[in-house]
C-alpha cells in the first residue's frame, strides 16, 4: 500500500489544458497577426514584407509568433486568404443562388451574371478600409508565385467561377467552354485589379471621381458590368491577311 501511494505521488503531473483566458489570448494574437499581414501584403506584396515586420505591426514582442500560430509565411498567406474569403463567401453564395433561381425562370442575362459576380467585391471594397485592403490583397495574389498565392487563390475561387461559367455557357452557346472560362477568369482578375487600382480615382476630383466608389458603389458595378459583359458578348475580331481586323 505504501509503495502504491509513493508511485502515485511520484507519477508525472498530467498536462493541463489551456485556460479559457490563454485560449482567448491566442485567438486575439492570431487575429492581430492576420489583420496586420493583410494590410502589409496588400500594400507591399507578400514578398515585400518580412515576418518581423508583420509581428511588429501586430504589436507582438515575440518574433516567432508567426511560426507558432501559422508554421510558415505560406501558412500565414493561407490564413489571410481565409479571413478575406469569410467576408466574400456569404455574398458570393447568395449571388450564385440568385443566378440559379433566375435561370430556372429563364430570366437570367449575361449582364445579370456579371453584375451578381462583381457586386460582392465592390461592396467589400466600398465598405471599409479593411475591405479595400482585402481586394488589393486578392489582386496581388493573382501574380504571386504559385506556392505563395496563385494556387491558394485558384483553389478557393475555382468552384464558384465554374458555376458562373456554366450559366454563361447556357446564355452564350456559340462560345466554347474554354473561351468562356478563360474570359471569366480574365474578367475576375480585371475586376480585382480595377478596384485595387481605384486609388488613382481618389486623386481625380473632376466630376467627383475621388468619392465615386464609396458614394456610388452600384454605379461602379454597372460600369464594370458594361465593360465585362461587352467583352463576353462582343463580336470577335480576327486578323485578315492584310493585317487589318475583320469580324469573325
**Per-residue pLDDT tens digits for 82-105:** 999 999 999 999 999 999 999 999
| Residue range 114-134: mean pLDDT, rounded | 90
pTM of the model: 0.77
| pLDDT range class, residue 171, cuts 50, 70, 90 | very high
Q: What pLDDT is recorded for position 70?
A: 93
Q: What pLDDT is recorded for position 12?
A: 46
* 131-135, 158-162, 206-210, 213-217 — most confident range: 131-135
Q: What pLDDT is recorded for position 11?
A: 42
Q: Which of 168, 58, 68, 69 is nearest to 111 (CA)?
A: 168
Whether pLDDT at 237 is above 60: no
Q: Burial letters for 47-57: b for 16+ Cβ neighbours within 10 Å, e otherwise?
A: eebebeebbeb
Percent of the residues in the chain that have a pLDDT greater than 90, as a whole number: 43
Full set of structural domains in the chain with CATH: 82-233 (1.10.357)
Q: What pLDDT is recorded for position 227?
A: 82
Least confident of 55-59, 66-70, 203-207, 209-213: 203-207
User: What is residue 61's DSSP assignment?
Assistant: S
**In whole angstroms, what separates CA 110 from the centre of its chain?**
23
Q: What pLDDT is recorded for position 126?
A: 85
Q: What pLDDT is recorded for position 14?
A: 46
| Contact (CB, 8 A) for 110 and 173 | no
**Per-residue pLDDT tens digits for 14-68:** 445 555 555 566 678 899 999 999 999 999 999 999 999 999 999 988 888 899 9
Amino acid at each position: 500500500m505504501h509503495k502504491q501511494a509513493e508511485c502515485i505521488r511520484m507519477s508525472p503531473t498530467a498536462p493541463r489544458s489551456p485556460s479559457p483566458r490563454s485560449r482567448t489570448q491566442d485567438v486575439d494574437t492570431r487575429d492581430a497577426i492576420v489583420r496586420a499581414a493583410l494590410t502589409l501584403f496588400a500594400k507591399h506584396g507578400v514578398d515585400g514584407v518580412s515576418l518581423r515586420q508583420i509581428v511588429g505591426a501586430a504589436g507582438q514582442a515575440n518574433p516567432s509568433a508567426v511560426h507558432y500560430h501559422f508554421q510558415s509565411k505560406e501558412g500565414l498567406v493561407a490564413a489571410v486568404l481565409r479571413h478575406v474569403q469569410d467576408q466574400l463567401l456569404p455574398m458570393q453564395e447568395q449571388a450564385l443562388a440568385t443566378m440559379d433561381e433566375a435561370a430556372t425562370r429563364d430570366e437570367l442575362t449575361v449582364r445579370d451574371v456579371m453584375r451578381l459576380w462583381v457586386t460582392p467585391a465592390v461592396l467589400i471594397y466600398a465598405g471599409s478600409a479593411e475591405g479595400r485592403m482585402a481586394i488589393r490583397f486578392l489582386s496581388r495574389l493573382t501574380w504571386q508565385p504559385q506556392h505563395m498565392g496563385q494556387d491558394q487563390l485558384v483553389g478557393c475561387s475555382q468552384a464558384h467561377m465554374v458555376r458562373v461559367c456554366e450559366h454563361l455557357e447556357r446564355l452564350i452557346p456559340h462560345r466554347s467552354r474554354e473561351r468562356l472560362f478563360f474570359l471569366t477568369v480574365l474578367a475576375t482578375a480585371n475586376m480585382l485589379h480595377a478596384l485595387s487600382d481605384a486609388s488613382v480615382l481618389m486623386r481625380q476630383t473632376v466630376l467627383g471621381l475621388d468619392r465615386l466608389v464609396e458614394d456610388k458603389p452600384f454605379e461602379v458595378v454597372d460600369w464594370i458590368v458594361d465593360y465585362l459583359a461587352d467583352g463576353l458578348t462582343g463580336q470577335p475580331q480576327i486578323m485578315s491577311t492584310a493585317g487589318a481586323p475583320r469580324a469573325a
